[in-house]
């Protein structure tokens, strides 16, 4: 598992996408791969 994937898995599900805030169920953290990838990319630049 990559470092980025571990960071994503550590996020608690909050009922919305962690990147775009689109409403989600209480299991998923991102609405799709695009938001998950964008989240990773943003984290990479804000270290």
Q: Mean pLDDT of all residues in the chain? A: 92
Name the residue with higher pLDDT: 43 or 29. Answer: 29
Residue 46: pLDDT over 80 = no
The contacts of residue 29 (CB under 8 Å, 6+ apart) are 8, 11, 13, 14, 17, 18, 36
Does pTM top 0.75 for this prediction?
Answer: yes
- Asked if 33 and 8 count as a contact pair (C-beta separation under 8 A), the reply is no
Amino acid 4: pLDDT: 84
Residue 14: pLDDT over 80 = yes
The residue range of the domain holding 15 is: 3-45
- pLDDT tens, 20-32? 999 999 999 999 9
Give me the number of domains the chain comprises.
1
């Amino acid at each position: 598992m990559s470092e980025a994937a571990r960071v994503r898995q550590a996020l608690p599900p909050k009922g919305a996408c962690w990147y775009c805030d689109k409403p989600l169920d209480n299991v998923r953290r991102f609405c799709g791969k695009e938001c998950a990838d964008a989240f990773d990319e943003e984290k990479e630049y804000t270290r």
